Amino acid sequence: MTVQEKTKKSVKTKESELANLLKEEPVRPLKEGDKVEGTIVDITSHAAYVDLGNFGAGIIYGKEIKEGFGLQQRKLGIGDKITAAVVLPENEEGYVELSIAEAVKEEAWKDLREKQENKEVIKVRILDANKGGLMVEINGIRGFMPVSQLTSEHYPRVEDGDKNKILEILKSYVDTEMNVCILVADEEEDKLIVSEKEAYKDKEKELISEFKVGDIVEGEISGVVDFGAFIKFLPPSKQKTGSEEDELEGLVHISQLDWQLIDNPRDVVKVGDRVKAKIISIDGTRISLSIRDLKNDPWMSVEKKYKVGGEYEGRVDKINHFGAFVYLDDDIHGLAHVSGFPGYPKKGIDEIVEIDKKYIWKVMSLEPNAHRMGLKFVGEIDKKKKVSSPQESEEKKSAQPEEKSTADKKGAESKEEEKAKAKPSAKDKGKDEGQKGEKKEEKKATGRKAKSKKEAKTEKSKTTEKAK
């Protein structure tokens, strides 16, 4: 008797037993998708026969015989008890057509849900990568690990944010193993999401517990992205070990890098820089840091430099649809709302002012604590009459009395000199009078001398005449 004949005989025997049971207790008919349990009673090169008890005989076709069953893909053997899904309640040969794969898939999803609930750490092999993350497989089901769920050790940080470079780094992980936890296990949507970060969450929490908000940490810039910079640092208990595995990582948001407005974090810091930062927030395993808070806040003294209603020079830093950001100095900036520009709304701001060019602005409001200043466009800088900064104005005011007194002094000296020239002193007057007297005496003496000579000549003439 052949194997098939034996199987059919066994099935007929079961059918007769089933008929007797049906008389006692009716059995609900099977339908597609139902899960049934049975025992392998025979295996051929193209099929496996299953004893389904009250439901009769089942048959499994195709590659499932070779691929095996269960989560470990165990090979089928006579006597094995299996759970299978009904593909066809009754085929042309009268068998219940079954599929182990469908049943195994359900078992696999059930196991995944249990692992998710228990937060079990699973070692997986990376199968492939794309720009968004890595592909894995658990229980024969494909899963995905987003880039954001990688630990800092594996997170691909590229200076210029080039997606092709990021993909190169992700592809380097293919065929390597990582520890992960399951975040999402949704059978209906066939969605399996895993996380490497979650697998190390408890360890991170333990290390983070050594810190509190307000603490100062020192570390190295480990990555710079468009929205900020990452800093790696060691907790106090691991300072001596210096192990990278013990390092924590925090994010300094672009707004926390400096008091100035920053468009590109790469202009402020670079990978490898040693920096100090203040912890401003701890949310689970997420640490937020600030480099800015360790610097003096220039806004605290802004009211000494600028007054509401005052007009000052300012450089246009950038323009957007609601106004222009203007720097009055290296640290203090304000917003000039679009409504304050002449010609609005017919004219665009970029038609009135240019980026990096200086203009005159009026301070309309000032809120130091909120780091806000409202400005209004006044106009082009008058080169003949330059608007001074508050410091320059104070310096000029303090310098004016001194300059005036100096000028007055010089003027008085000039007048005295003129008076001195116009009216000689008593000494000079006496000297002049002496000189006049001397000249007068000289003149008299000259006259007397001339008279004596004339008299002598007259006497000489008389004597000559007597002699004759």
Contact indicator for 349, 284 with CB cutoff of 8 Å: no
Question: Which strands form 133-138's sheet, in the order they lie side by side?
Answer: 122-125, 177-186, 191-195, 141-146, 133-138, 128-130
Most confident of 10-19, 160-169, 330-339, 384-393: 330-339
Q: Which CATH number is correct for 3-107, 3.20.20.70, 3.40.50.1950, 3.30.70.270, 2.40.50.140? A: 2.40.50.140
Sign for the CA dihedral angle at 96, 101, 104, 105 comes to negative
Distance separating alpha carbons of residues 280 and 253, to the nearest angstrom: 11
What pLDDT is recorded for position 101? Answer: 76
Structure tokens given for 244: 């990278």
Query: In 3D, which of 210, 208, 209, 135 has the Cα closest to residue 178?
Result: 135
**In a 10 Å sphere around its CB, with 0-12 CB exposed, 13-18 middle and 19+ buried, how is residue 221 labelled?**
buried
- The pTM for the full model equals 0.55
What's 201-294's CATH class? mainly beta
DSSP states of 140-159: TEEEEEEGGGS-TTT----T
Residue count of the chain, please give it: 468
pLDDT at 234 over 60: yes
Percent of the chain's residues with pLDDT above 70: 72
* Arithmetic mean of pLDDT over the chain: 80
Distance separating alpha carbons of residues 199 and 154, to the nearest angstrom: 13
Structure tokens given for 172: 């380097």
Beta-bridged to residue 195, according to DSSP, are: 181
The hierarchical CATH code for the domain 303-390 is 2.40.50.140
What pLDDT is recorded for position 280? Answer: 96
The pairing of beta strand 35-43 with beta strand 81-88: antiparallel
Residue type, 35: K
Percent of the chain's residues with pLDDT above 90: 43
Q: What is the pLDDT of residues 64-94, one digit of tens each?
A: 666 555 545 567 788 888 888 898 998 888 8
pLDDT at 351 over 60: yes
Mean pLDDT of 122-135: 95
User: How does residue 404 score in pLDDT terms, banded at 50, 70 and 90?
Assistant: very low
Q: What is the pLDDT of residues 282-323, one digit of tens each?
A: 998 899 999 999 999 999 999 999 999 999 999 999 998 889
Give the domain ranges of the chain: 3-107, 119-199, 201-294, 303-390
**In a 10 Å sphere around its CB, with 0-12 CB exposed, 13-18 middle and 19+ buried, how is residue 362 labelled?**
middle
pLDDT at 400 over 90: no
pLDDT at 147 over 80: yes
Same fold, 119-199 and 303-390: yes
What pLDDT is recorded for position 74? Answer: 62
pLDDT at 129 over 80: yes
Contact indicator for 230, 152 with CB cutoff of 8 Å: yes
Most confident of 26-30, 245-249, 253-257: 253-257
Per CATH, domain 119-199 is 2.40.50.140: yes
**In a 10 Å sphere around its CB, with 0-12 CB exposed, 13-18 middle and 19+ buried, how is residue 397 labelled?**
exposed
pLDDT at 439 over 70: no
Mean pLDDT of 126-137: 95
Contact indicator for 203, 250 with CB cutoff of 8 Å: no
